[in-house]
Structure 1
Amino acid sequence: MELMLEDILDFCTGKQEDGTPMAGSSISVFGLTRAKQPITKQNVTFNQPLEIHTVGGCITVSIDFKKCPEFYRATKICMDWLDKSEDTLIYTIIPMLLEGKITVILRNLVYCDFYEKKNGMLRLILAFDNNETLLFGSDNIDYDSIKAMVDNEFQKKQQELDEELEKYIKEKEELEKESYEMDILGEMDILEDEYSSEDALLHRPGVRFEDDEEGNDND
């Protein structure tokens, strides 16, 4: 059974029920020694919730950090690599729920930026060439079991969306009802104000009052 990248990314995005991130991450830069032996030149690991989106041939990863060494190190590694990309930069994502049985490898970094959010968190945004994305799985992986987990996770998220939509519709209807009732009460207050004075009462349609002099003349 073949698993699609989108299926695995569902296990990498956001948080688990206990609040811990769905996946662990690392950014590494690999090069060669003078003897042409592979060597890890730079590396940083972190455990932050991820937002992952794929659009065409691009895959973006947004990571929210507190002001911590991991943020500054990850940002510097990526910025430096974009300035001088002689070595190989790899972003490794390991979905926690899959217990390391599948690893997502992102390659060919094409964009890096960051900004501070209103809540004080620092968001690092990375974009990679999605055509270079790789999936690695262990030999004893149970694809049927993982596919079942993917389907279960999808149904769970769909149910959450349905519940949120139902809640939104209910709140919207209640607000509209309250607004309608307030409008009716406002119109009633206006009518009371219009007919509360003697002058307004005298000018009500279909009602005619004779003054005292006219009444005396008729006598």
Structure 2
Amino acid sequence: MFALNTSFDTTRLETPFYLVHGWDAHGTVSAMLGPKPSTTQERTAYEWRRKMHYALACAEDLQKKAKRDRSEEQTRKWHELSERLKSGFAIGDAVWLYIPNEASTHVAWGPFRIDEILDDFRVRPKVGDTGYRVNPWVHESRLKPRALFPRRQTIDLEIPEDDDFDAALLPEDSWEPDTEKYEVEKILDTRWNKRTRTSKRLREYLVKWKGYDETE
């Protein structure tokens, strides 16, 4: 520990520390607070700064308290929900129906309300007019509570750049150039046709395509 001699010299009216170093030593508290304001303007600014720091400290304490209360409330709700879900699903619960499908990014259907429970493991979801076509009865292992999973879960499909979903539906010669161009070899017959709505006559031709039989 260090002790500062703060007594004043009777001749110079200064402290021994000031006579040696040329400045007065400050304690920890006075060093943190800084010099006291001497003018009215400085005192006003000092008071405003003190009140501002006090208000910020109060706001920080209130924010910490609000976060702590919100966390405790969320934890309490989670414990209550976990205890209820341990006993299984109940009629009226909102659930997601999980059906694995490699061709779809959506693995969860719904949400649905549970309409009926049979044998403690078979559940009838209330499909109604939702547009889904599912089995009337599903196993409870396919269900997940919406309360624990508010959003629909999806999966990311890894598709190569050269993969085309519609390639299997196209003709074999679809990749050959000029496959959709046809050349008329000759006109076999001509007839007139009349549209009922507009009463306009149209001329239709029966043609033979070059490279094809007449039956085609």
Calculate the TM-score normalised by the size of structure 2: 0.26
**Higher Rg:** 2
Structure with higher helix content: 1
Structure with higher strand content: 1
Calculate the TM-score normalised by the size of structure 1: 0.26
